[in-house]
Amino acid sequence: MHDANNKIGRWQGAGLLTTTLLGTSVFILPQMTINTAGHWAMISWLVLTVAILPVAMVFAKLSSRYPHAGGPAYFVEKAFGKSAGRTIGLLFLFVVPIGAPAAIIMTYWFIETLFGLSPDWALPVQLGIIALLFALNYRGIQFSSTLQLILTLVITLVVIAMLAGQPVASGELIPEATTTSFDMNPMLAAMGIAFWSFLGIEAISHLADDFKDPGRDLVPAIMTGTLLVGLIYLGCTWLLIDTPVSDSLSMVIVFDQIFSGGGAAVIGALGVAGGLATVNVYTASLARLTWSLSNDKVLPGYFQNLNQHNVPQRALQCVLVVMTLTLVITHYGAYNLEDLIGWVNGVFVLIYLASMLAAVRLLSAKHRPLVMLSCLFCATIAVGLGTKMLYALGLFCVCAPLLWYQQRLAESKAERQLQR
């Protein structure tokens, strides 16, 4: 997995991260946060963008210093031992049953908007996305990362064009003042939803070994991508702040108002491409994590196989099968998208917090203020998520004791063999 021809640089990495963070949610999450917090959603996004920067910097430092396919699981293992690291790795894998359906369902919303499909097409199209993900990942991510850099530039230019045209279309630069009094709870709830937009910082850490020079390229790639994403989400929230609540995609309505039509085509196409980019990177990173856990004997050795392109194909196939099964279950069940997002975010709060605590041991003392700010950020998001943290806490309470017991059995077996 060290072929230089398949390595990526800092700008490809920044594009990969940015499209991962924008992904399915760039034209959806601002609308959801406004529905939750009203005009205060702007403050929620601003605070979230500023607060996530220390987290991004810590991940960048950890990833550049300890490039490994295990990502956060490897950081935690280095700091606290195998059981702790493997617990974090399994938590990441358990995001798949709820995270993949949420991301692919959001992608389908854009496909539905773009082509005007009936609900009967939902599951067949979603399963078609699974097949496309296999094709994109079979030969590795280098080619798709270049395309995603182009996509990042296009999404950014469209948002800038909408921001430039919005004052002319609406006749005002500042949205109408809200009469709603300040309330911290809706703001925290909006931040809990918006946290989804920054899930992907840790995914790049799984791919650190795919960079040409992780020590040089990872920090600028992660920081550039994170800051750009925060600004784009702020811009999208500004555009939607006075748009009436609607079940349809509000961004399409605003685009039509500014440019007199074409919203379904432009926003739909970008949403589909961004959604595929998000699921594509998570598929690659989850496959690499499965491969890493297999090498560490946490998962069966079956997943250690690499194909001729140095891609963990068996792990990739397993991840896609799980996505397929959960999409089918989700399609025939009754799930609220906001709940799915909240449960995913809760798992990542634990993963991020564990990584920040690992940084206390792995990074030098000069990074301690960044780490402390990052821990405070994770705690704040957990409060905002409220009861949606229960899924993550339940997983942790099940996985941690089992893996601790597994580790003790392995150590006992090793001791008995030494005594013979």
What's the CATH code of the domain at 194? 1.20.1740.10
Enclosing domain of residue 63: 4-414
Kindly tell me if the per-residue pLDDT of 331 is higher than 70: yes
Q: Judge whether 63 and 355 are in contact, CB under 8 Å.
A: no
Q: How far apart are CA 12 and CA 331, in angstroms?
A: 35
Mean pLDDT of all residues belonging to the chain:
83
Asked if 81 contacts 403 with a C-beta cutoff of 8 angstroms, the reply is no
**Is it the case that residue 417 has pLDDT exceeding 80?**
no
Asked, for residue 179, whether it belongs to a domain, the answer is: yes
In a domain, 228, yes or no: yes
pLDDT at 297 over 90: no
* Mean of pLDDT values over 68-94: 86
Mean pLDDT of 100-112: 85
Classify residue 231 as left (phi > 0), alpha (psi -120 to 50) or beta. alpha
Range with the poorest average pLDDT among 153-157, 211-215, 264-268 = 211-215
- Does a structural domain hold residue 419? no
Mean pLDDT is lowest, of 236-245, 316-325, 345-354, for 236-245
Burial of 290 (0-12, 13-18, 19+ CB in 10 A): buried
Mean pLDDT of 263-280: 84
Q: How many domains does the chain have?
A: 1
Q: Is the pLDDT of residue 10 over 60?
A: yes
What is the reported pLDDT for 167?
59
Does residue 393 register a pLDDT over 80? yes
Tell me: the pLDDT tens digits for 355-386? 999 999 999 999 999 999 999 999 999 999 99
Among 9-18, 53-62, 89-98, 389-398, the minimum mean pLDDT is found in 9-18
Question: In which band, very low, low, confident or very high, does the pLDDT at 169 lie, cut at 50, 70 and 90?
Answer: very low
What pLDDT, on the 0 to 100 scale, is given for residue 334? 66
| 189 located within any domain | yes
Determine, yes or no, domain membership for 420: no
Cα–Cα distance, 338 to 169 (Å, whole number):
31
Cα–Cα distance measured from residue 249 to residue 79, given in angstroms and rounded to the nearest whole number: 44
pLDDT tops 80 at residue 214: no
Specify the pLDDT at position 333.
76
- Comparing 215 with 404, which gets the higher pLDDT? 404
What was the pLDDT predicted at 177?
42
- The confidence score (pLDDT) of residue 363 equals 93
- Banded pLDDT at 133 (limits 50, 70, 90): confident
Tell whether 154 is covered by a domain.
yes
Q: What are phi and psi of 211, to 5 degrees?
A: -80, 145
Question: Which of the residue ranges 72-81, 151-160, 196-205, 227-236 would you say has the lowest mean pLDDT?
Answer: 196-205
Cβ burial, residue 22 (10 Å; 0-12/13-18/19+): buried
Least confident of 15-29, 45-59, 92-106, 313-327: 15-29
In a domain, 404, yes or no: yes
The residues near 334 (Cβ < 8 Å, ≥ 6 apart) are none
